[in-house]
Structure 1
Amino acid sequence: MTAPARAGEGLRAARVSRTAGGTLVLDGVSLTPRPGTVTGLLGPNGSGKSTLLRLLAGVLAPDTGVVTLDGRPLAGIGRRTVARRLATVEQHADTQVDLTVADIVRLGRVPHRRAWTPASSADEEAVRSALARTGLTDRAHRSWRTLSGGERQRVQIARALAQDPRELLLDEPTNHLDIQHQLDLLSLVASLRLTSVIALHDLNLAALYCDRLVVLKEGRVVASGEPADVLTEELIADVYGVRAAVTRPDPAGPPHIRFLGTLTSRAD
C-alpha cells in the first residue's frame, strides 16, 4: 500500500546516484531544499548539476537512492501530477512554430487540463497573472522569434509560473545573458518565494541571490550551507582550481569573490 503524502516534506533527493556511459555522474547525493527558498547548485562543468536537476524533475531515474515529493517516490507519481507541482526552466528553449509569448505561457496550463479541452477562465487568469509577474503583459502578442535572450528566459519562467508550481528547477538560466538581464532574472526568481533549485556558474551571483548553496565536485557533495559559510578561498581552490580572495564588504551581506588566477599561474 502506498503511504499517504506528507504535505510538508516537499521535494527531496536521498543518496541518489546515476551512471551514464559507464561513468559515475552522481555518487550518493542528498538534497533537501527548504520551502520557499532558493538553493544554488555550484560546481565545474561535469560535476553533475544538470543530471541532479533532471533527477529532481523526474526526467531521469536514479540508479540508486530515491527522489521523493511529499514523501512519495517520484517514480510512482503520474507525470501530470508531478507537472502540476514542479516546473523546470532549461538553459535553452526554442520552437519551430511561430508562437506568441502568450501561446508559450499557455503551455504551462497543459497539466491542469484534460486532453482536447479548451482553456478555462481559470487557465486564462493564470496566464495573465504569470505574464504580469514577469513583466511581460505588454509583450503577450509578440512573436517568440523577435525576443531577446533575456526576454525568452522570462517567458520560460512565465510558462513555469502558469503551471502554478510549488517547486521550480532552473538549469543555468543566466547563460548567454548580459549582466542586466542576469540580475533581473535572478531577482525575479528570488522574489517568487517558491522552493527553487538553480544551477549557476557565477559564484558572486550565487552568493547574492541564493539562500543556501550545494557544491558538487565529480558527482559528490563537497559543501552545503549558507553562502558565507560555503564560499571560502579553500573551497574555491579545491573545487575550481582557482585562487580567489573572499571578502565581506558588508558584514551582514553576502561574500564577494575576486578571482586572482589559476593555481598554476603567477600571482598578479
Structure 2
Amino acid sequence: MREARPDSGLRADRVARRADGRLVVDGVTLCPRTGETIGLLGPNGSGKSTLLRLLAGVLAPSAGVVTLDGRPLPEAGRRAVARRVATVEQHAHTQTELTVRDVVALGRIPHRRAWSPATGADDRAVAAALERTGLTGRAGQSWHTLSGGERQRAQIARALAQEPRELLLDEPTNHLDIQHQLDLLDLIADLPVTTVIALHDLNLAAMYCDRVLVLRDGRTVAEGSPAEVLTPALIEEVYGVRAEVTHEPGHPVIRFVRRAARAASCRPGPRPAPP
C-alpha cells in the first residue's frame, strides 16, 4: 500500500472565522489521517458546526487555510471538492415529494453535467449506497414516510453515492434513540473514508472515534485519542461537570456525577444526640 503524501487529504491550518464581531473559530488546526474517524467535541457554541462548514468549503475562513491535497479549497474548485468531500447536516428537509432513491441519487450531481441523464456508473453508485446503508428495500418509498433514523441513513447513502474520500457529519445522532445511534455509528465507523464527526455524547465519541478534538469558545483545548483526552479534569474544565472515567478494553467510559449527589456528599452529617 502506497503511503499518503504528508499534505494529502483534507486539512485545516490555523483557521479562524469571524461572525457578528466575534471569533467563532479561532486558530484551529485539524489534520485527519487517511481512513480515521475524528470526533469534534465541545459544548454548544464551541465552533464545531462552523469548523465543519469551513472544511466543506461552505464558509471561507477569515484567517488560515483549508486545503485538499495541499491546494486551498478555492483553487481546487467547487466541483472537485464536491466529488471528494461529502457532508451530512443535522437536519434535512424537503417539501418536494421524493423517493429514497431520488434522495440518494442527489449525491451523483457533482459527477454529471447539468441536465445530463444518469449513467450506468450513477446507477451502480446509488445501488451500492442503498445496499451499504440497508435501504435497498426502501428505495421506492417516499422519503417523508421514513423514521428519523432511516432519514439519517438515507442522507448518509446520498453522501456515499458521491463516492467521497472525506465525510463530514454534524451531530448525526441527535434525536435518535439509543439503538439507532449505535446502528448509525456502526455504519459510519465501517465506511472506507476519512470521517470528521461532531458529537455531543462523550461515550459515543470514546467508542467510535480514533481521535477527538475538543473545542471551547472556538479554540482547541485538547486533541488526541479518547483515552488521552477524556479525563475528569478536562470534562470539568470544558463542560463544567464532574465525571468519573474508567477504562474498558478499547475505550474509556464516562460516568457523570449528579449535582444532587455532589451536594449531598458536602453536607455535614447529623449531629449526635445530646447525652
TM over 0.5: yes
SS in 1 for 2:242: strand
Q: Structure 2: how far apart are the matches of 1:261 and 1:66?
A: 42
Matched, 1:222 2:221: yes
Deviation at 1:257, TM superposition (A): 0.2
Partner of 2:268: none
Q: Is the 8 A contact 1:243 1:263 kept in 2?
A: no
Q: Is the 8 A contact 1:261 1:267 kept in 2?
A: no
Picking from 246, 253, 258, the partner of 1:256 is: 253
Partner of 1:177: 176
Q: From the superposition, tell whether residues 156 and 267 of structure 1 become closer, same or farther in structure 2 (CA, over 3 Å).
A: farther
For residue 37 of structure 1, what is the amino acid of its counterpart?
E
Q: Write out aligned runs for 1:30-45 (5 A).
A: 30-45=29-44
SS in 2 for 1:266: helix
Partner of 2:270: none
SS in 2 for 1:255: strand
Matched, 1:238 2:237: yes
SS in 2 for 1:28: strand
Partner of 1:187: 186
Q: From the superposition, tell whether residues 172 and 114 of structure 1 become closer, same or farther in structure 2 (CA, over 3 Å).
A: same
Partner of 1:198: 197
Q: Structure 2: how far apart are the matches of 1:112 and 1:31?
A: 27
For residue 261 of structure 1, what is the amino acid of its counterpart?
R
Q: Structure 2: how far apart are the matches of 1:218 and 1:20?
A: 13
Give the count of matched residue pairs. 261
Tell me the alpha carbon deviations over residues 136-157 of structure 1, each in whole angstroms, 9 at most, x when there is no partner: 0000001011000000000000
Note the aligned Cα RMSD (angstroms).
1.5
Q: Is the 8 A contact 1:215 1:222 kept in 2?
A: yes
Tell me the alpha carbon deviations over residues 140-184 of structure 1, each in whole angstroms, 9 at most, x when there is no partner: 001011000000000000000000000000000000000000000
For residue 200 of structure 2, what is the amino acid of its counterpart?
H
Q: Is the 8 A contact 1:37 1:193 kept in 2?
A: no
Deviation at 1:80, TM superposition (A): 1.1
Tell me the alpha carbon deviations over residues 198-236 of structure 1, each in whole angstroms, 9 at most, x when there is no partner: 000000000000000000011110100000000000000
For residue 79 of structure 2, what is the amino acid of its counterpart?
R
TM-score, structure 1 as length reference: 0.95
Q: Write out aligned runs for 1:68-79 (5 A).
A: 68-79=67-78
Deviation at 1:249, TM superposition (A): 3.1
Q: Structure 2: how far apart are the matches of 1:8 and 1:76?
A: 15
Deviation at 1:193, TM superposition (A): 2.6
Partner of 2:58: 59
Q: From the superposition, tell whether residues 267 and 34 of structure 1 become closer, same or farther in structure 2 (CA, over 3 Å).
A: farther
Unpaired segments of 5 or more residues in structure 1? 1-5
Deviation at 1:77, TM superposition (A): 2.1
Q: Is the 8 A contact 1:47 1:218 kept in 2?
A: yes
Q: Write out aligned runs for 1:1-268 (5 A).
A: 9-250=8-249, 253-262=250-259, 266=263
SS in 1 for 2:245: strand
Q: Structure 1: how far apart are the matches of 2:168 and 2:205?
A: 15
Bigger Cα Rg = 2
Q: Structure 2: how far apart are the matches of 1:104 and 1:88?
A: 14
For residue 191 of structure 1, what is the amino acid of its counterpart?
D
Q: From the superposition, tell whether residues 74 and 264 of structure 1 become closer, same or farther in structure 2 (CA, over 3 Å).
A: farther
Deviation at 1:76, TM superposition (A): 1.8
Unpaired segments of 5 or more residues in structure 2? 266-275
Deviation at 1:265, TM superposition (A): 5.3
Q: Is the 8 A contact 1:150 1:177 kept in 2?
A: yes
Matched residues, percent identical?
71
Q: Structure 1: how far apart are the matches of 2:79 and 2:119?
A: 18
TM-score, structure 2 as length reference: 0.92
Tell me the alpha carbon deviations over residues 108-161 of structure 1, each in whole angstroms, 9 at most, x when there is no partner: 000000011100001000000000000000000010110000000000000000
Q: Structure 1: how far apart are the matches of 2:101 and 2:238?
A: 42
